[in-house]
Every structure is written in structure tokens, then in C-alpha cells.
Amino acid sequence: MHSLKQTANLLASLGSPVSVEDMTDHILRGLDDGYRAVIDGVNARDTAILFDDLLEKLLIQELSLVAAQRQVPAPMTALNVQARPNHSDKTRSGQFSASSTSRPDNRKSFLSRCQWCNVKGHVLS
């Protein structure tokens, strides 16, 4: 971005200035869909955006994209624990329910595959 501004300043000093609109269009064409909100916002303006304001908006969006990439999903072992049903016969008060009957659970328990050897039940740690 700074080299683009330096080039525009050099062209202006040589008597061939680049318009703010042309420079903005050039910058926006080089962005991917991760910057769609900024692109749409700049295109919706009635007046041209200043270079420094555009740079600020792009930096904020870049930080947002980086933060979204850092969010890592929970590990499979954590998902495995969260997905298991609670088989406790206790009520909320902590006492056992009088009408509780013991019945077998016919559902198969989920065993994930090891990410290293692809064998069910192994866990890569």
C-alpha cells in the first residue's frame, strides 16, 4: 500500500497525478472476498475515500480475518465428551428418582479414528 502511495506521489511530482478514485479502484480490485464488506462500503460512498482512511479500514478488516483464522475448533476428545448423554438417574435436587428403571443403552458409543494411524479408539496426544 505504501509503495502504491509513493508511486502515485512520484507520478504527481512528474506532472501526471493519479486520481484518488483511480488509486482506490486499483486497490479494491486487488482484494479478495475476505474484504467484501470494505469493498462494498467504499463503493457505496458518495465521495471518494482518503487513502489513509482506506488503509485504516483495510487494516481493521485484516485484523478481523486473522482473528477469525485463529479460532480453533475444539479437539475431537472434547467433542467426544460433550456429545455423550448424561446417564445419571439423579434429579436436580441430587436425589435418585423413585421411578428410575435401569435399561440398557442400545446406542453405539462413538469412537473417533486416530489422526496418526487411522485406527478407531486411538487418540493422538
**What single-letter amino acid sits at 86?**
N
Q: What is the pLDDT of residue 42?
A: 95
Query: Length of the chain in residues, anyone?
Result: 125
Phi, psi of 27 (to 5 degrees): -65, -50
Show the 3-state SS of 61-111: HHHHHHHHHHCCCCCHHHHHHHHCCCCCCECCCCCECCCCCCCCCCCCCCC
**What single-letter amino acid sits at 114?**
C
Q: What is the pLDDT of residue 80?
A: 54
Q: What is the pLDDT of residue 15?
A: 93
Of 71 and 29, the structure prediction assigns the larger pLDDT to: 29
pLDDT greater than 60 at residue 95:
no
User: Who's near 21: CB < 8 A, 6+ residues apart?
Assistant: 48
**What single-letter amino acid sits at 8?**
A
Comparing 17-21, 42-46, 69-73, 90-94, which segment has the lowest mean pLDDT? Answer: 90-94
Domain ranges of the chain: 1-70
**Separation between Cα atoms, residue 37 and residue 108, nearest integer Å:** 45
pLDDT band for position 1 (cuts 50, 70, 90)? confident
pLDDT greater than 60 at residue 49:
yes
Q: What is the pLDDT of residues 59-86, one digit of tens each?
A: 999 999 998 888 766 566 655 555 555 5
